Amino acid sequence: MSETPAIRKIDRRRKAVPVVLLAASLLTLTISTRSLEGLPKRVGVSVFGFFQKGFSAIGDFVSNTTSSIAELKRLRKDYDELLLKMESYSNLERGYAEIRQENERLKEQLGYTSNLQYERIPARVIAKDPENVYATIVINKGIEAGIRKNMPVIAFQDGIEGLVGRVVEVGQGSSIVIPLYDTSSYIAARLATSRYEGLVTGHGSSDKPLVMKFVKKRAKDEIQFGDLVVTSGYESLYPPEISIARVSKVRALDYQTSIEVDLEPVLDFSRMEYVFVIKPEATADTGMTDAAAPAAPQDTGK
Amino acid sequence: MIRTIIFSTLLVLGSSIIQSTWLGAIAVFGVIPDISLVVLVWVSYKNGLVEGPITGFVSGFLEDCLSASPLGFHAFIKTFVAAISGLLHGSFFIDRIFLPFAMGAVGTILKALAAALLSLLFGAKIQTYDFLDRVLWIEAAYNGLIAPFLFLFLGALKKLLVTESKRE
């Protein structure tokens, strides 16, 4: 049976729908990749942050309830261990007070005025990127808590303060953080011991090592396995001396003018629950008084 | 039709939120399944070239707000996958296991191809799958494995997710 012109017209219209939508997507991408996306994205982050908080809370409730018995047993064991530890720490504390006094005296002689102090906003990780191709973290604090775009994010694990990444989108009550292992993240860094500088970037997955690029070739002989890499503070986004990763491998090729260093992050991103967002405006005192001191972070974002 | 699009969009979006919050617990080598994609493939295959792509476009657009991706990234990918699935509308009978597995896995590969295409057009601002990396293939297998169960569940919601004239 032959189709009437009217049916053919409807059929053509139906086939045009996906084409029109694909064109609309491309148009949106064209606009958004030139960073004109601010408002709709912020509204979206706010709205979906609300739902993600809800889902995260339900998930937490279920998992917390089911694991509470095991948790109690573990707490009991931890309690006994902590009692023993506390005894040894009380001995250590006496020695620490003396060392601290000595440290203050030495600092004074070297020209340091005070330790670095940053205002930190504590936040909880409530979600991750819904897709495997992007690697973002969603935290439960946003504009209301004073968080702004490009603020650095750190976390503590096993007593170590490490860099997590930076805030890329802020909603009313939630924010999106891009971790340091993301391919679009670049961090000005230096080796803590030899002080050689480089640029740290990732491969998009927390399972893969970070890479420190553009490290001077002469640093090769001075870099040791396990050396700590910290932020240099030169790019103004990240405060200086925050731990990033440890050296796992050095790659030097004859035809290259610099070397690449593979790094293992100091933080385990798979078990990260709480983070701290650093307010850069609170970093007025960088801790150094001499002219050679590294520049303090000044801007809060682009 | 509008009712189908609304319910499908809500379901795809809800799946994305579940992916971002709960599914980390069942990640394999850090890879989570893309249940929103599997839902979209089913909805598009059952409804054809209009409802599927519209659902993909709207849900993808909203999903861009959950992610660090530029606005339009997921909208394009989901519209693309939905359009291909919609083109196959009614072409074959879906069995219980094999075809759902194939649709879940192939849908994932189509998603990666669409992302690669965008990466070609927009350069470094778009992140894409590495076809030689395990992430894509684990996700394809994972989506294929969960597809038979999801299709079974979606079949029960046919009244909400399939336009009346297209129900078998």
- Of the candidates A132, A119, A147, the one whose C-alpha atom is nearest the C-alpha of residue A45 is A147
Q: What is the pLDDT of residues B41-82, one digit of tens each?
A: 999 999 988 888 999 999 998 888 878 888 889 999 999 999
**CB contacts, 8 Å: A31 with chain B:** 71-72
> Do the chains contact at A18 and B79, CB–CB below 8 Å?
yes
> Do the chains contact at B70 and A37, CB–CB below 8 Å?
yes
**CB contacts, 8 Å: B127 with chain A:** 133-134, 183-184, 204
How far apart are alpha carbons B133 and A294 in whole angstroms?
A: 40
- Whether this model's pTM surpasses 0.90: no
Domain boundaries, chain B: 2-21+29-163
DSSP string for A242-278: -EEEEEEEEE--TT-SEEEEEEEESS-GGG--EEEEE
- Above pLDDT 90, what percent of chain A? 10
Residue A126 CA: distances (Å) to CA of A169, A206, A240, A274, B117: 15, 18, 28, 9, 31
Length of chain A: 302
What average pLDDT does range A279-287 have in this prediction?
A: 53
Of A15, A33, A129, the CB nearest to B49: A15
Residue A49 CA: distances (Å) to CA of A191, A301, B117: 37, 22, 30
Which residues on adjacent β-strands are paired with residue A251?
A260
For an interface test with A, the pick among B71, B87, B89 (most A C-beta atoms closer than 10 Å) comes out as: B71
Indicate whether A194 pLDDT > 60: yes
Of B29, B57, B129, the CB nearest to A21: B57
* pLDDT at residue number A132: 80
Where residue A292 falls among pLDDT bands split at 50, 70, 90?
Answer: very low
Cα dihedral sign, B9-B10-B11-B15: positive
> Do the chains contact at A55 and B17, CB–CB below 8 Å?
yes
The token pair at A213 is: 């690029």
DSSP B161: H
Where residue A3 falls among pLDDT bands split at 50, 70, 90?
Answer: low
> Do the chains contact at B49 and A17, CB–CB below 8 Å?
yes
> Do the chains contact at B72 and A26, CB–CB below 8 Å?
yes
* Contacts A–B by Cβ distance under 8 A: 159
Tell me the shortest Cα–Cα distance from B56 to chain A, in angstroms. 9
Indicate the helix (H) or strand (E) that contains A101. helix A68-110
> Do the chains contact at B21 and A184, CB–CB below 8 Å?
no
* pLDDT at residue number A61: 79
Question: Within an 8 Å CB–CB cutoff, is residue B76 touching chain A?
Answer: yes
Q: Letter for the amino acid at A293?
A: A
Q: What is the pLDDT of residues A200-250, one digit of tens each?
A: 988 877 778 899 988 888 888 888 888 899 998 876 788 888 889 999 888
Q: What is the pLDDT of residues A161-180, one digit of tens each?
A: 899 999 988 988 889 999 99
**CB contacts, 8 Å: A207 with chain B:** 29-30
How far apart are alpha carbons B76 and B121 in whole angstroms?
A: 12
For an interface test with A, the pick among B17, B21, B57 (most A C-beta atoms closer than 10 Å) comes out as: B21
For an interface test with B, the pick among A26, A29, A50 (most B C-beta atoms closer than 10 Å) comes out as: A29
Residue A236 CA: distances (Å) to CA of A106, A251, A288, B10: 28, 28, 16, 42
Of B17, B54, B121, the CB nearest to A21: B54
Question: Within an 8 Å CB–CB cutoff, is residue B148 touching chain A?
Answer: no
Query: φ and ψ at A234, to 5 degrees?
Result: -75, -25
Where residue A84 falls among pLDDT bands split at 50, 70, 90?
Answer: confident
> Do the chains contact at A133 and B128, CB–CB below 8 Å?
yes
Of B24, B70, B74, the CB nearest to A33: B70
- Of the candidates B61, B126, B117, the one whose C-alpha atom is nearest the C-alpha of residue B84 is B117
Question: Within an 8 Å CB–CB cutoff, is residue B25 touching chain A?
Answer: yes
Length of chain B: 168
Given the structure tokens 């912020």, which residue do they identify? A42
- Of the candidates A205, A206, A126, A104, the one whose C-alpha atom is nearest the C-alpha of residue A171 is A126
DSSP string for A137-175: EEES--GGGT--TT-EEEEEETTEEEEEEEEEEE-SS-E
Q: How many CB atoms lie within 10 A of CB B59?
A: 29
The token pair at B138 is: 């684990």
Angle at A32 between CA A29 and CA A35, to 5 degrees: 155
Query: φ and ψ at A3, to 5 degrees?
Result: -80, 145
Query: φ and ψ at B63, to 5 degrees?
Result: -65, -30
How far apart are alpha carbons A63 and A57 in whole angstroms?
A: 10
**CB contacts, 8 Å: A136 with chain B:** 67-68
Would you say A182 and A204 are in contact if contact means Cβ atoms under 8 Å apart?
yes
Which residues on adjacent β-strands are paired with residue A188?
A199
- Classify B2-21+29-163 by CATH class: mainly alpha
Percent helix, strand and coil across chain B, each rounded to 5?
75, 0, 25
Tell me the shortest Cα–Cα distance from B66 to chain A, in angstroms. 6
